[in-house]
Amino acid sequence: MSYNILGITPGHNGSVALVSDGKLVFYLEEERLSRIKYDGNPLKSILYLLSKYEINELIITGVHERFIPKTPPPPISQDVYSHLIKKYQSNLVTIPFWDKHHLSHASNAFYNSGFDKAAVLVIDAVGSTHLFNNVFIEETESIFSFEYPNNVITHYKSYNNHSNLNYKNNKINISSNCNITKTYEGITQLFKWNSQESGKTMGLSSYGQLNKNIPKLFTSGKGNPNYFQSVYGAGAVTNFNLEIDPKEWHYNASKITQYEKDLAYHIQTESEKEVFKLVEKTLDLTKLDKIACAGGYFLNCVCNYKLLKKFPNIEFYFDPASHDGGNSVGAALYRWYEHSKDTTIRPRKTLYNGPQYTQDQLINSIKKYVN
């Protein structure tokens, strides 16, 4: 009988992933079933899987235990996902992994890359929260090296906090200033888009150009504190003033000004330079010429393309599910290789790991929307 590990990611981009004997056989983001954008509670996805598979282990990743929804007593309080599955499969083993957000990102990138050994760079808005000198700090960038089956070395971690704590040495950087991804999200929110919609800012950047009236957006690898203030979770507050409410041009492109286009260009190109620096840091710390990349920033395909051009001697892997949804895959794969000590390399060959539909089902669905 197969050994099945179910990974789940609550929070935005809620998802499930099923790893069966080391092979990713199912991956689905909850919004595909609920039709609610960024749905964070993968309950329908779990029920779908329970109708088809026996689950041996559940591994829950996230950012912190306090954000995992709990069922109230009696008889015992537990996370709602374990509680749901145990109603169907009472022998379930639950493994908490919510304090290893960046390790989930990194595992997703490495185990899907096809590399036998590699550096892994994670660039994210906010990862797991930890206590440091009685202050909550949030993961933002991480550098690892991976080798099969699950030999992982952490070389560098960068954190954000909201208590004006600043601390730095060769392996850790804690700052109260905005990290790379939050700074990018700050401009995205300035344009009245959701912080998760930075791809729109990336697209807009291609219409911009260098503008000497726009100040430097980054200082010392962080968002310029004169213009960006980090907020808890995703995004940032900016004090840039726009001449027109962006909602005016969301559906009427003729109303957008060159300033908005240039601001998008600046956040794109300046953030790219900060990413280049982190890649160089990764190469210096790990001495490896293969880099697997994950975390929300690596959905930025413009930057990814430029990395390939700037570092032609480096072999890159950019995971297509670099956002938090992919963490369910990473957590389940990490647990498989930790549990089994398997050394089989299984590069990801398809993105189509969700439910399968017949031609009749597709035709009937289309008919609902045809007059």
How far is residue 193's CA from residue 5's CA, in Å, rounded to a whole number?
36
pLDDT of residue 68: 72
Judging by beta carbons within 10 Å of its beta carbon (0-12, 13-18, 19+), is residue 369 exposed, middle or buried? Answer: exposed
What are 317's two structure tokens? 């892997």
Residue 152: other Cβ atoms inside 10 A: 16
Residue 234 has pLDDT above 80, yes or no: no
How far is residue 47's CA from residue 342's CA, in Å, rounded to a whole number?
29
Residue 70 has pLDDT above 80, yes or no: no
pLDDT grade for 51, boundaries at 50, 70 and 90:
very high
pLDDT of residue 233: 75
pLDDT grade for 214, boundaries at 50, 70 and 90:
very high
| Whole-number percent of the chain with pLDDT over 90 | 85
Q: pLDDT by residue (tens digit) across 270-295? A: 999 999 999 999 999 999 999 999 99
Query: Does the reported pTM lie above 0.85?
Result: yes
- Quickly tell me which residue has 């990413």 as its tokens: 275
Residues 6+ apart with CB under 8 A from 227: 215, 217, 238, 239, 240
pLDDT grade for 67, boundaries at 50, 70 and 90:
low
How far is residue 319's CA from residue 110's CA, in Å, rounded to a whole number?
9
Residues 6+ apart with CB under 8 A from 41: 10, 14, 30, 69, 80
How far is residue 196's CA from residue 210's CA, in Å, rounded to a whole number?
25
Cβ atoms of residues 54 and 5 within 8 Å: no
Residues 6+ apart with CB under 8 A from 11: 40, 62, 63, 67, 324
Region 329-355 average pLDDT:
96
Torsion, CA 171, CA 176, CA 182, CA 188, rounded to 10: -160
Q: pLDDT by residue (tens digit) across 149-182? A: 999 999 999 999 989 899 999 899 999 999 999 9
* Mean pLDDT (the chain, rounded): 94
Please report, as a single letter, which amino acid is at residue 8: I
Residue 320 has pLDDT above 80, yes or no: yes
Question: Phi and psi of 356, rounded to 5°?
Answer: -100, 145
What are 214's two structure tokens? 């726009």
Region 264-268 average pLDDT:
98
Cβ atoms of residues 343 and 319 within 8 Å: no
Residue 74 has pLDDT above 90, yes or no: no
